[in-house]
Amino acid sequence: MSQTLAAVKGMNDLLPGEIEIWQHVEGLARELFGRFGYGEIRTPMVEDTALFVRSVGEETDIVGKEMYTFDDKGGRSLSLRPEGTAPAARAYIEHSILNQEPLTRWFYTGPMFRYERMKTGRYRQFYQVGAEAYGSKEPAQDVEVMDMVAQFLQALGLQDIALNLNSLGDEACRPAYHAKLVEYLKAHIEELCGDCHRRMETNPLRVLDCKNPKCQEVAGKGPNVLEFLCEPCKAHFDDVQRKLTALEIKYVVNPRMVRGLDYYTRTVFEFIASHPALGTASTVGGGGRYDKLVKSLGGPDVPAVGFACGLDRLVLLLKEGTRKFGASPDLFIAVADPGSQDTAFTLASKLRREGLRVDFDTRGGSLKSQMKRSDKSGARFTLVLGEQERTSGEAKLKRMADGSLIPVSLSGLAAAVREHSATEVAQRGNAT
Ligand code: HAM
């Protein structure tokens, strides 16, 4: 007997029933981000491994432990993208975008890959919708992207999501913070894991996002990055907060939040949900400013800021609600006798051409089983087609909500379905 094959661990199939929620979320993102002037980009799912090593950082968990890296047949080291910021920056440089416009706003959506320990809300292939803005160093740009996430979450109807905000300083003030952090960590070296011993030397900030509880406890009591900000970084951070307040976006300052990627300077933020459905995978989106990344990848000296939201997590939250997603058929055509099957088939095709969502069972079968299927499909109307309807050209449209019968002529079916759907929607609107 041949063994059945299953999807790769941590990688999920998305099927009808659930995909409608995904489509809703992605559609909303496209529409909303478009309103903010962000244009869509699509970059390859595979990049040179060096791109992520040089941007996300060698010492991060993402690059150090979680990347799907392989050699292609030409011996190049490639990696499945674990995130979208580095590929976007690569594309920005490669297409000399700065020569074409001083301010660029891009968004993207698609799968990312990280070999992580799996649990609810944490997968090895997961989906992000993200945005990046290049060319503005102004606090208003930071707040614009946070506003975009806040409006996105609000439009999805998601509540109880806290915006956590921090500043990591820049090349002028971060060295002093680093030095203090290393001094503190050295004093607690016994309590840190082996990885953090190394991180302390190579990249001390990464100790702060070590997943080991003991390291987290030590990190939680370490020096406060905000106390080390230089004047320009402090002014930037203050202005970000003023502007968030002006937009009535609530936030909490969280000086312990450093994010798990190396490229950030100044503002970093995370949107954290408190719904139990996500467990500890509660961060639904995160981002920040990365003013040095484009230059460090060989591009021009361009400041940038962006974010990414985890679609899987947003969908998990939406599944908890009662809202129904996706459109049901407008009409189900059932046949009363096998002789009507071909006419019904042709009619279904014609109505679909006229823009209706039509369900029809190509297998025929008993009228009872077809009516059952119609019920299950959630169709708004059902039309039973038999010899009498075929010969007279007249039929009855059954409104599934109340079982009432509406006389219609087959030649004007599309218009009748539309007209009666509209009155039904209006009546429902009046009733609520
Ligand atoms: P990130 O925080 O690594 O940031 O990921 C952003 C979001 O992706 C997370 O908040 C989470 O919702 C989702 N996510 C991450 N890993 C997983 C996973 N294994 N399973 C499910 N969801 C996950 C970035 O990726 C940055 N590129 C964001 C950014 C854009 N910063 C500036 N611009």
- Index of the ligand 1 atom closest to the CA of residue 284: 12
Is ligand 1 within 6 A of the CB of residue 288?
A: yes
- Index of the ligand 1 atom closest to the CA of residue 290: 32
In this structure, what DSSP letter does residue 162 have? E
Q: Are 321 and 119 contacting, i.e. CB atoms less than 8 angstroms apart?
A: no
The predicted pLDDT at position 193 comes to 94
The predicted pLDDT at position 281 comes to 85
**C-beta neighbour count of 330 within 10 angstroms:** 20
Give me ligand 1 centre to Cα 142, in Å: 17
H or E element that contains 289: strand 283-289
| Per-residue pLDDT tens digits for 287-316 | 999 999 999 999 999 999 999 999 999 999
Is ligand 1 within 6 A of the CB of residue 109?
A: no
Is ligand 1 within 6 A of the CB of residue 128?
A: yes
| Per-residue pLDDT tens digits for 16-66 | 999 999 999 999 999 999 999 999 999 999 999 999 999 999 989 999 999
Give me ligand 1 centre to Cα 128, in Å: 7
Is ligand 1 within 6 A of the CB of residue 283?
A: yes
Q: Is 351 helix (H, G, I), strand (E, B) or coil?
A: helix
DSSP codes, 242-284:
HHHHHTT---EE-TT---S-TT--SEEEEEEE--GGGTT--EE
1-23 average pLDDT score: 94
The predicted pLDDT at position 387 comes to 97
| Per-residue pLDDT tens digits for 370-379 | 999 999 999 9
Q: Which single residue is written with the structure tokens 């309590």?
A: 191
**C-beta neighbour count of 245 within 10 angstroms:** 12
With both helix axes pointing from N to C terminus, report the angle between 139-155 and 231-246 in degrees, rounded to the nearest 10. Answer: 40
Q: Are 54 and 296 contacting, i.e. CB atoms less than 8 angstroms apart?
A: yes
Burial classification of residue 165, based on how many CB atoms lie within 10 Å of its CB (0-12 exposed, 13-18 middle, 19 or more buried)? buried
- Distance CA(13)–CA(244), nearest Å, equals 38
- Distance CA(191)–CA(426), nearest Å, equals 66
Is ligand 1 within 6 A of the CB of residue 170?
A: no
Nearest CA to ligand 1 atom 22: 310
Is ligand 1 within 6 A of the CB of residue 116?
A: yes
Q: Are 379 and 330 contacting, i.e. CB atoms less than 8 angstroms apart?
A: yes
H or E element that contains 142: helix 139-155
pLDDT reading at 259 higher than 70: yes
pLDDT reading at 428 higher than 80: no
Q: Which single residue is written with the structure tokens 């139990």?
A: 276
Give me ligand 1 centre to Cα 309, in Å: 6
Give the chain's domains with CATH numbers: 19-173+229-319 (3.30.930.10), 331-426 (3.40.50.800)
The predicted pLDDT at position 282 comes to 93
H or E element that contains 320: helix 311-320
Q: Report the Cα 29 to chain-centroid distance in Å.
A: 8
Burial classification of residue 71, based on how many CB atoms lie within 10 Å of its CB (0-12 exposed, 13-18 middle, 19 or more buried)? exposed
Binding residues for L-histidine are 83-85, 114, 128, 132, 259, 263-264
Is ligand 1 within 6 A of the CB of residue 299?
A: no
pLDDT reading at 432 higher than 60: no
The predicted pLDDT at position 59 comes to 87
Percent of the chain with pLDDT over 70: 98
Phi and psi at 107, nearest 5°, equal: -135, 165
| Per-residue pLDDT tens digits for 214-229 | 999 999 999 999 999 9
Largest separation between any pair of C-alpha atoms in the chain: 92
Nearest CA to ligand 1 atom 21: 122
- Index of the ligand 1 atom closest to the CA of residue 62: 3
pLDDT reading at 163 higher than 90: yes
Lowest mean pLDDT among 253-257, 278-282, 295-299, 316-320: 278-282
- Index of the ligand 1 atom closest to the CA of residue 283: 10
Give me ligand 1 centre to Cα 83, in Å: 7
Is ligand 1 within 6 A of the CB of residue 291?
A: no
- Distance CA(432)–CA(210), nearest Å, equals 51
Nearest CA to ligand 1 atom 13: 310
The predicted pLDDT at position 211 comes to 83
Q: Are 259 and 286 contacting, i.e. CB atoms less than 8 angstroms apart?
A: yes
Q: Which single residue is written with the structure tokens 């030590």?
A: 218
Spell out the residues 6+ positions from residue 424 whose beta carbon is closer than 8 angstroms to its own: 380, 399, 401
Binding residues are 83-85, 114, 128, 132, 259, 263-264
The predicted pLDDT at position 425 comes to 67
Give me ligand 1 centre to Cα 9, in Å: 19
Is ligand 1 within 6 A of the CB of residue 168?
A: no
262-270 average pLDDT score: 97
Q: Are 268 and 167 contacting, i.e. CB atoms less than 8 angstroms apart?
A: yes
Whole-model pTM: value is: 0.94
Closest C-alpha among 134, 135, 78 to residue 107: 134
H or E element that contains 342: helix 341-353
Lowest mean pLDDT among 68-72, 278-282, 355-359: 278-282
Is ligand 1 within 6 A of the CB of residue 110?
A: no
The predicted pLDDT at position 2 comes to 79
